[in-house]
Amino acid sequence: MDEQQIYARLTEIFSDVFDDDIQVNPELSAKDVDGWDSLSHIRLILTIERAFKIKFSTSEIGKLENVGQLVALIKARA
């Protein structure tokens, strides 16, 4: 799976989790999205794990600062 496919799938997931049309890009972070709180973060991560059939460790999730880092992690696992 290449980065373009990952971003396309993440765009669908973000739109579903946040009920908004969000343009996902490498610099996107929680501060850029209205309603991205701790509960929606958990929903987002669980939905991503299911969609890509992967599991993240707590330390991996804690180190993520933006979507670009998330995509790199997904790409490394897929």
- For 52, the domain range is 3-77
Beta strands in 1-78 (DSSP E): none
- pLDDT tens string, the chain, 78 residues long: the values are 899 999 999 999 999 999 999 999 999 999 999 999 999 999 999 999 999 999 999 999 999 999 999 999 999 987
pLDDT of residue 78: 78
CATH assignment at residue 64: 1.10.1200.10
For residue range 50-67, list pLDDT tens digits in order. Answer: 999 999 999 999 999 999
Closest residue by Cα to residue 24 from 37, 7, 40: 7
The number of distinct structural domains making up the chain is: 1
45: DSSP letter: H
